[in-house]
């Protein structure tokens, strides 16, 4: 925590990344402001996972270099700047080398993330139940009942038809290539969705992913019965990290226990409020092209590009 006179702080250039603190100290030093460390108490911050440290280190080093280069009579010469660059490179190498040996996992949302549209909304357009779907969403606040009521709208539809609808929805640009690269880096990559298992498993197979956790839509002779089962791994339990009755975080905890992965070494990526807890509790939470302000607030990273390729820079 840094405190100072308003007259001093108003002269500073505040960076919007992890270099902000060191930037303030350097600017204060340049202004010949007296600096003193004082004991004001203890604040416990959420520790950052290793894959976030490389980004932090780069931004801190970049701030030091920018501040030094901006001086009219810089105290650093080119040789010293080269040393700073080498330190930054070696730090990145050490983190990458260490992190490559960790167990790590990425959990993607499916609707409006891996898929460019929501599956159930696309079904509603195809089978003309948009109004019924909207009425259920507006009238039923209890998530379990809402999930079961929405499933009734699919009654009588053959599974092949549902899969064809899923295939009609475009996969997010760059998703397949990005997932391939993430798996090469040692990540377990999968889907956690409040959609249906027949669809999420289909998308999982198309993208060569490792797992898919979703609600279980029921069929009889390949025809949807309109019934859905919410698997136990979604429900609150003694190890839950939130108080919600049903939550994606519970599913995340379930899958990482099978792979013996710490939640701090997980990346969660999604766009809706249903992804909020998963994004908050993962080591790195990424809000993908979201309109939800609360998700933007709690995510570690706000990613606003549809193309998935840029996500690779967050996966060491």
User: Mean pLDDT over residues 265-293, rounded?
Assistant: 95
Summary mean pLDDT of the chain: 86
Provide the terminal-to-terminal Cα distance of the chain, rounded to the nearest Å. Answer: 29
Report d(CA 215, CA 226) in Å as an integer: 13
Q: Give the per-residue pLDDT at 221.
A: 93
Q: How confident is the model at residue 65 (pLDDT cuts 50, 70, 90)?
A: low
Write down the pLDDT at residue 25.
Answer: 80
> What pLDDT sits at residue 171?
98
- Residue-level pLDDT at 225: 97
User: Can you spell out the DSSP letters for 176-210?
Assistant: HHHHHHHHHTTEEEEEEEEEEHHHHHHHHHHTT-S
Q: What is the pTM of this model?
A: 0.71
pLDDT at 73: 53
Position 161 pLDDT exceeds 90: yes
The model's confidence at residue 54, banded by pLDDT at 50, 70 and 90, is: low
Q: Check whether 233 has a pLDDT greater than 50.
A: yes
Q: Where are the alpha helices (DSSP H) in 33-77?
A: 50-70
Contact partners, residue 186, CB within 8 Å, separation at least 6: 100, 102, 104
Distance CA 63, CA 255 (A): 39
* Res 316 pLDDT > 80: no
d(CA 231, CA 214) in angstroms, rounded, equals 8
Domain boundaries, the chain: 6-40+48-99, 104-314
pLDDT of 50 strictly over 50:
no
Domain 104-314: which topology? Rossmann fold (3.40.50)
Among residues of the chain, what percentage have pLDDT more than 70?
Answer: 80
C-alpha distances in Å from residue 1, one per residue of 42, 43, 160, 242, 301:
10, 9, 58, 29, 22
Residues with Cβ within 8 Å of residue 188, at least 6 apart in sequence: 103, 104, 105, 106, 210, 211, 259, 261
pLDDT, one tens digit per residue, over 175-211 is 999 999 999 999 999 999 999 999 999 999 999 999 9
């Amino acid at each position: 925590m840094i405190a100072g006179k308003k007259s001093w702080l108003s002269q500073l250039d505040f960076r919007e990344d992890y270099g902000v603190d060191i930037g303030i100290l350097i600017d204060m030093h340049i202004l010949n402001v007296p600096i003193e460390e004082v004991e004001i108490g203890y604040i416990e911050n959420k520790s950052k996972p290793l894959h976030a440290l490389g980004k932090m280190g780069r931004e801190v080093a970049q701030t030091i270099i920018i501040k030094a280069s901006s001086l009219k009579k810089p105290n650093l010469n080119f040789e010293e700047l080269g040393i700073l660059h080498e330190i930054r490179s070696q730090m990145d190498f050490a983190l990458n080398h260490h992190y490559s040996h960790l167990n790590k996992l990425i959990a993607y949302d499916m609707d409006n993330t891996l898929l460019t549209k929501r599956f159930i909304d696309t079904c509603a357009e195809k089978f003309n139940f948009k109004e019924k779907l909207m009425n259920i969403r507006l009238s039923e606040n209890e998530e379990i009942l809402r999930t079961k009521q929405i499933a009734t709208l699919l009654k009588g539809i053959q599974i092949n038809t549902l899969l064809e609808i899923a295939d009609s929805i475009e996969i997010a640009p760059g998703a397949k290539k990005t997932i391939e690269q993430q798996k090469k880096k040692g990540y377990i990559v999968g889907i956690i969705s409040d959609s249906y298992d027949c669809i999420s498993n289909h998308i999982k197979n198309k993208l060569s992913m490792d797992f898919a956790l979703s609600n279980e839509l029921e069929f009889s002779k390949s025809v949807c019965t309109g019934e859905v089962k919410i698997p136990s791994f979604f429900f609150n339990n003694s190890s839950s990290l939130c108080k919600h009755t049903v939550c994606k975080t519970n599913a995340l905890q379930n899958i990482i226990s099978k792979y013996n992965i710490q939640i701090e070494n997980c990346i969660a990526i999604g766009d809706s409020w249903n992804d909020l807890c998963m994004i908050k509790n993962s080591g790195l939470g990424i809000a993908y092209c979201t309109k939800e302000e609360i998700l933007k607030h709690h995510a570690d990273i706000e990613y606003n590009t549809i193309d998935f390729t840029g996500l690779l820079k967050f996966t060491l």
